[in-house]
């Protein structure tokens, strides 16, 4: 809850000051008016954010933690434990520092009579909107334990898919980084030594050796500028991608890059289908589902397109028909949405198609890895061959000259 400082007057006109804890300013005023007739001033007492800062605390709650927490909620609620006590128990048991802090704050709110969704909403930037809205729907419909079951499956699946994709892309990333390190060491350390050696021979060097020496001179002479330039490019990219237009353009580019773009499309389709299925199962209306899904999509371009369809759904247009105008979602997903809507089983259809695109995302990552590995091998082979020729060709020429004489 939030603490508010107030100044008010009683019915007799006596000036009263104090503090009150409430979820919102409106509710704080209601509490004050139980003892005071006029509220002259009320201000929120800003909490000391530094007191909550912990370098070991995650920036947001991970999918694995959300899945485990949802599972614990479901089990305890089915055992008949009150929601307030459940929040207290899970807050005490969890090892995730961020989730522990969030649930500890929620415990005070829930025991004061507020809903769990209301309390979680205060940490909306730390917890996904899909999680909060599903909890809200469960509280309103009286099926909270069922909604937590669904959230358990949803975030467990999301965690496994992301883990597989990251695992598939880790190897080429490491190899590429090591390749750059090796190239840097060769150019800055090995080649200058070779230059000193050949400089004492007093003979004309082959073209390939002169090219290598020129490239090495550039690296040795300008490596500080290269590092600064790279850092500036990265910083500018980060700043640009934080802007509204930049974030949208970067998101569109991710969907169109050859090979990598397919991974982004499959990930977006998987996230969309699984989130829609979870929210529909929780009992949320289609317009509300599309609004939430548009907010939680990792790719902003897909989310912006989905936001445009909210008004169309509210005006009576079908879910599948709205998706038809989204050029970033696969055609099969759109057609399956239409079939599911017509048959009255949209949530089951989205769950099935979500599983399909989970597998497609992993397959796309494996395919990208299969294409990248030979490219890396060829690049390293050409580079090593170039270095060997540049180093040994002058020696061969020298030995040939000695033998001829």
> Residues 6, 39: one domain?
yes
Q: Is residue 58 part of a domain?
A: no
* 49 pLDDT higher than 50: no
| Contact (Cβ atoms closer than 8 angstroms) between residue 11 and residue 53 | no
Q: SS3 of 354, please?
A: helix
Q: Name residue 272's beta-bridge partners.
A: none
> Residues 140, 212: one domain?
no
> How high is the pLDDT of residue 72?
93
> Residues 193, 335: one domain?
yes
Distances (CA, A) of 113 to 109, 116, 119: 7, 9, 10
> Residues 297, 349: one domain?
yes
Q: Around Cβ 192, how many Cβ atoms within 10 Å?
A: 15
Q: What span, in angstroms and rounded, lies between the C-alpha atoms of 176 and 166?
A: 15
Residue appearing with tokens 């949209």: 346
Confidence label for 201 from pLDDT (cuts 50, 70 and 90) = low
Q: SS3 of 357, please?
A: helix
Q: Name residue 9's beta-bridge partners.
A: 15, 38
pLDDT tens figures, 202-242: 667 788 888 877 887 787 788 788 889 989 999 999 899 88
Q: Is residue 330 part of a domain?
A: yes
Between 402 and 371, where is the model more confident? 371
> Residues 91, 191: one domain?
no
Compute the average pLDDT of residues 269-291: 87
> Residues 250, 384: one domain?
yes
* 288 pLDDT higher than 70: yes
The secondary structure of residue 34, as a DSSP letter, is T
* Minimum mean pLDDT range among 53-57, 181-185, 269-273, 351-355: 53-57
Q: Above pLDDT 70, what percent of the chain?
A: 91
Q: Is residue 57 part of a domain?
A: no
Instruction: Please give the mean pLDDT across all residues of the chain.
Output: 82
pLDDT tens figures, 344-383: 888 889 989 988 998 888 888 788 777 777 887 888 788 8
Q: What span, in angstroms and rounded, lies between the C-alpha atoms of 265 and 256?
A: 9
Q: Is residue 233 part of a domain?
A: yes
> Residues 280, 392: one domain?
yes
> Residues 152, 288: one domain?
no
> Residues 382, 250: one domain?
yes
Q: Is residue 40 part of a domain?
A: yes
* 175 pLDDT higher than 80: no
Q: Using DSSP bridges, classify how beta strands 15-22 and 38-44 pair: parallel, antiparallel or unpaired.
A: unpaired
Q: Is residue 163 part of a domain?
A: no
* 73 pLDDT higher than 60: yes
For residue 316, the domain's CATH number is 1.20.81.30
Which residues constitute the domain of residue 135?
63-156
Enumerate residues 6+ apart whose C-beta is below 8 A from 7. 15, 16, 17, 39, 40, 41, 42
Q: Is residue 279 part of a domain?
A: yes
> How high is the pLDDT of residue 70?
92
- How many domains, the chain? 3
| Contact (Cβ atoms closer than 8 angstroms) between residue 280 and residue 350 | yes
Model confidence, pTM: 0.70
Confidence label for 55 from pLDDT (cuts 50, 70 and 90) = low
pLDDT tens figures, 115-136: 888 888 876 678 888 888 888 8
């Amino acid at each position: 809850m939030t603490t508010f400082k107030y100044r008010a007057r009683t019915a007799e006109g006596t000036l009263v000051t104090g503090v009150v804890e409430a979820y919102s300013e409106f509710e704080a005023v209601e509490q004050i008016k139980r003892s005071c007739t006029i509220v002259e001033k009320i201000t929120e007492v800003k909490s000391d954010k530094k007191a909550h800062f912990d370098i070991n605390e995650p920036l947001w709650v991970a999918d694995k933690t959300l899945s485990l927490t949802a599972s614990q909620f479901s089990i305890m609620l089915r055992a008949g434990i009150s929601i307030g006590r459940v929040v207290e128990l899970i807050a005490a048991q969890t090892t995730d520092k961020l989730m522990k802090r969030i649930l500890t704050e929620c415990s005070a709110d829930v025991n004061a009579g507020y809903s769990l969704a209301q309390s979680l909403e205060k940490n909306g930037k730390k917890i996904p909107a899909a999680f909060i809205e599903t909890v809200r729907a469960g509280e309103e419909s009286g099926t909270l334990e069922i909604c937590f079951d669904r959230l358990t499956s949803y975030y467990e699946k999301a965690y496994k898919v992301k883990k597989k994709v990251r695992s598939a892309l880790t190897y080429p990333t490491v190899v590429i980084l090591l390749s750059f390190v090796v190239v840097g060491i060769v150019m800055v350390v090995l080649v200058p030594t070779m230059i000193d050696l050949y400089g004492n021979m007093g003979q004309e060097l082959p073209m390939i050796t002169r090219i290598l020496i020129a490239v090495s001179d550039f690296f040795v002479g300008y490596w500080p500028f290269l590092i600064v330039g790279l850092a500036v490019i990265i910083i500018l990219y980060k700043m640009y991608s934080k802007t509204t237009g930049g974030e949208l353009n970067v998101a569109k580019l991710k969907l169109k890059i050859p090979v990598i773009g397919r991974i982004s499309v499959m990930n977006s389709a998987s996230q969309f289908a699984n989130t829609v299925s979870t929210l529909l199962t929780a009992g949320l209306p289609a317009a509300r589902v599309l609004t939430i899904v548009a907010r939680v999509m990792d790719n902003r371009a897909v989310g912006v397109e989905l936001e445009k369809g909210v008004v169309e759904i509210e005006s009576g247009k079908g879910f599948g028909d709205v998706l038809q105008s989204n050029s970033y979602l696969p055609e099969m997903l759109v057609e399956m949405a239409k079939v599911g809507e017509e048959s009255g089983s949209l949530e089951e259809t989205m769950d099935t198609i979500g599983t399909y695109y989970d597998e497609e995302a992993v397959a796309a990552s494996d395919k990208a890895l299969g294409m990248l590995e030979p490219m890396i091998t060829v690049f390293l082979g050409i580079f090593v061959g170039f270095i060997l020729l540049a180093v040994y060709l002058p020696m061969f020429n020298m030995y040939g000259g000695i033998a001829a004489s």
